[in-house]
Amino acid sequence: MLQRELGGNYYSDPDVPPRAHPADVLPQEMDKLREMMLELINQPEHFKQWFGEFISQSRHELDIAPPEPPYQPDEIYDALKQGEVLVRLGGLRVLRIGDDVYANGEKIDSPHRPALDALASNIALTAENFGDALEDPSFLAMLAALVNSGYWFFEG
């Protein structure tokens, strides 16, 4: 949470004296950091964002193989319209938290709720899963970015 600069506060304490071992963390430092984290956790939107990013991160290395060359949005459109199946990478965590969808620590933004639900709920996807969202250039650009990241790939 603090890594994303939520709340805009950094821990620092100019009154802490130098210590014998530079790796030591003093109890009062832990208390102050805990207070900062609790303050952020008590802000529902910040906690929701942190939780979605944290819990959707894979706990092991994914076998990511970005396509070469990268797909263009119109190529994604054509492939899906021609009946190709888009498959989620094994081990990729995709979660829906309220209206937000997260994949591998990243929030996926789109106004196309049913299409996002399809991404979160299905391992294999066809043009039917995306519906009218495929006609939106911004959705296709987002989908191309996910495919080019190696998170989804075309079967076969």
What confidence tens digit (pLDDT) does each residue in 101-141 have? 999 999 999 999 999 999 999 999 999 999 999 999 999 99
81 and 143 share a domain?
yes
Q: Do 17 and 86 reside in the same domain of the chain?
A: no
Same domain (yes/no): 36, 94: no
Residue 5 confidence (pLDDT) above 70: no
Within 10 A of 5 (CB to CB), how many other CB atoms are there?
Answer: 9
For tokens 């709720």, what's the residue? 113
Cα separation, 70 vs 153, in Å, equals 11
Has residue 143 been placed in a domain? Answer: yes
90 within domain boundaries = yes
Domain count, the chain: 2
Confidence of residue 144 (pLDDT cuts 50, 70, 90): very high
Residue 145, in any domain of the structure: yes
Residue 105 lies in a domain: yes
Question: CA-CA distance, 40 to 37, in Å (whole number)?
Answer: 5
- How confident is the model at residue 1, as a pLDDT? 44
Let me know whether 86 and 38 are in one domain. Answer: no
Residue 100, phi then psi, degrees to nearest 5: -105, 145
Helix axis angle for 44-55 and 27-41, nearest 10°, is: 100
Q: 88 and 130 share a domain? A: yes
In tens, the pLDDT along 68-101 reads: 999 999 999 999 999 999 999 999 999 999 889 9
Residue 9: per-residue pLDDT: 54
Range 47-60 average pLDDT:
83
In this structure, are 93 and 34 located in the same domain? no
Q: Judge if 38 and 77 occupy the same domain.
A: no
Nearest to 132 by CA among 92, 77, 94: 77
The CA distance from 119 to 143, in Å, is: 10
pLDDT of residue 4 exceeding 60: no
- Do both 103 and 144 map to the same domain? yes
**137 and 96 in a common domain:** yes
Same domain, 149 and 78: yes
105 backbone dihedrals φ, ψ, rounded to 5°: 85, 5
Select the more confidently predicted residue: 49 or 106: 106
Q: Give the domain range for residue 91.
A: 73-154
Task: Give the pLDDT band of residue 28 (cuts 50, 70, 90).
Answer: confident
